[in-house]
Copies of this chain bind each other. A is one copy, B any other.
């Protein structure tokens, strides 16, 4: 029982998920509790501490075996200083989480943003296992990304490497403004939000589509279901989302020539229907030599990627 273990924390707006992870990247045990954002940052930090201690107490491991606690959070992080700069979902602004938790838990702490830790998790023990050179896309409310070279997260000069959702890939004439202020970002068409917007626009325009018959607000899943059922408007929307993901991957491929692209997040659940179109677009825009042996695959860890990757910050950095 002298094996070292790691705690991975997935700090979300609703729940804090805490996982025990061994040095091989296996998730051994999970605990989940409410974040309690309305009670303020102090209460959230109290909860993190409580859940981390609790999962270890309830495990066959001893506290002394915990070699480190990693945390991933949706937001801007200063990885070097261990500070969460801005995480609106959690209500954190300039919280020096590393020093706070180091003092409270007496363990080494590492942090990074959610897209980076999810990417690291997938490379460590999911769809990128054994592949040290991967680029991960997370297709959710927005489009996130993580760049893994030699098995490690690339941070970039301002810690903003992997902001793939903000690659401007839509031609100027068709571009709309993104939340970031710029025009034509990938996120405006390939996120769940973008897909829903295109569907809402089509319905408002009066396009003939089964989506106009839905009684509740259209979801991205509705659009994929309609497309799979042959609805032409929905097919066009999905094709557009896939086309620009593939085009952005081609831009990444000539820049970094990664071995594998991994796609996770809610939108990726559309499965092969979506993936085939992404691959087609990727091949269309990539010089052949850059595509040799390169694969585009679905993430495997689902919501566990964050906990596993957060623990992985200790093994892979």
> Contact residues of A with B, CB < 8 Å?
76, 133, 145, 147, 149, 154-164, 166-169, 171-173, 180-185, 247-248, 250-252, 254-259, 284-290, 292-294
Question: How many angstroms between the C-alpha atoms of A90 and B147 in the bound complex?
Answer: 36
Given contacts A181-B288, A286-B182, A287-B180, contact A293 B158 (CB under 8 A): yes
Contact B149 A257 (CB under 8 A): no
Closest beta carbon of chain B to A255's beta carbon, Å: 6
Task: Please give me the residue from chain B that is nearest to A285 by CB atom.
Answer: B168
Contact B166 A254 (CB under 8 A): yes
Task: Please give me the residue from chain B that is nearest to A258 by CB atom.
Answer: B157
Q: Which of B155, B255, B294 contacts A164 (CB 8 A)?
A: B255
Q: Which residues of B contact A252 (CB under 8 A)?
A: 255
Q: Which residues of B contact A182 (CB under 8 A)?
A: 284-287
Given contacts A171-B171, A181-B288, A288-B181, contact A256 B255 (CB under 8 A): yes
Q: Which residues of B contact A289 (CB under 8 A)?
A: 76, 158, 160
Q: Which of B163, B169, B257 contacts A158 (CB 8 A)?
A: B257
Q: Which residues of B contact A254 (CB under 8 A)?
A: 160, 162-164, 166-167
Task: Please give me the residue from chain B that is nearest to A178 by CB atom.
Answer: B287
Closest beta carbon of chain B to A176's beta carbon, Å: 14
Most central of A164, A180, A285, A293 by chain B CB within 10 Å:
A285
Task: Please give me the residue from chain B that is nearest to A135 by CB atom.
Answer: B255
A-B residue pairs in contact (CB < 8 Å), sample of 30: A76-B289, A133-B157, A145-B255, A147-B255, A149-B154, A154-B256, A155-B257, A156-B257, A157-B258, A157-B259, A157-B294, A158-B290, A158-B292, A158-B293, A160-B289, A163-B255, A166-B290, A167-B251, A167-B254, A168-B251, A171-B172, A171-B173, A180-B288, A182-B286, A185-B287, A248-B251, A251-B251, A251-B255, A252-B255, A255-B256
